[in-house]
Amino acid sequence: MPTIIRHALSRKVATSDALRQFKADFALITGLQLDFMDEVGQDAVASVPTTHMCQMIHKCDAGRSLCASAIHRLSAHAKGLPEFVTCDAGLHEAVVPVRVSGINVGFLRFAGFKTHETTDRDVRRAEHLLRKANVSLDQVTLAKCLASAKLVSISSLQAYLRIVALWEKHLALEVTAQLAQLSSALPEFVAHAVRAIRKRALLQNLNLSSVARECGVSPSHLSRIFHHATGLTFREYMARFRIEHARNLLHGTNRRITEIALDSGFQSLSQFNRVFRQVYGKSPRQLRAQNRIRQRELGPARPGDEHQ
CA distances from 83 to 161, 168, 204, 271, 302 (A): 9, 14, 43, 32, 41
Average pLDDT over residues 7-22: 83
Mean pLDDT, the chain, integer: 82
Asked if pLDDT for residue 282 goes beyond 70, the answer is yes
Asked if pLDDT for residue 99 goes beyond 70, the answer is yes
The pLDDT value given to residue 222: 93
Please, which pLDDT band fits residue 179 given cuts at 50, 70 and 90? low
Please, which pLDDT band fits residue 44 given cuts at 50, 70 and 90? very low
Asked if pLDDT for residue 176 goes beyond 80, the answer is no
Asked if pLDDT for residue 278 goes beyond 90, the answer is no
The pLDDT value given to residue 3: 54
The pLDDT value given to residue 38: 77
Q: How many CA atoms lie within 13 A of 60 on its CB side?
A: 13
Spans of all domains in the chain: 3-178, 180-297
Mention every residue, 6+ apart, whose C-beta is less than 8 A from residue 279.
101, 102, 176, 239, 240, 243
Give the rounded percent of residues in the chain with a pLDDT score beyond 70. Answer: 84
The pLDDT value given to residue 62: 85
pTM over 0.85: no
Asked if pLDDT for residue 109 goes beyond 80, the answer is yes
CA gap 63, 54 in Å, rounded: 9
Q: Determine the residue type at 119.
A: T
CA distances from 65 to 19, 22, 134, 138, 145 (A): 28, 29, 10, 19, 19
Q: How many CA atoms lie within 13 A of 232 on its CB side?
A: 22
Beta bridge partners, 106, equal 98
Beta bridge partners, 37, equal 107
Please, which pLDDT band fits residue 218 given cuts at 50, 70 and 90? very high
The pLDDT value given to residue 228: 81
Please, which pLDDT band fits residue 237 given cuts at 50, 70 and 90? confident
The pLDDT value given to residue 71: 77
Residue pair 203/131 in contact (Cβ under 8 Å)? The answer is no
Average pLDDT over residues 254-279: 90
Give the tens place of pLDDT for each residue, 145-170: 899 999 999 999 999 999 998 898 88
| Architecture of the domain delimited by 180-297 | Orthogonal Bundle (1.10)
Q: How many CB atoms lie within 10 A of CB 129?
A: 15
**Can you say whether residue 123 is alpha, beta or left, with left for phi > 0 and alpha for psi between -120 and 50 degrees?**
alpha
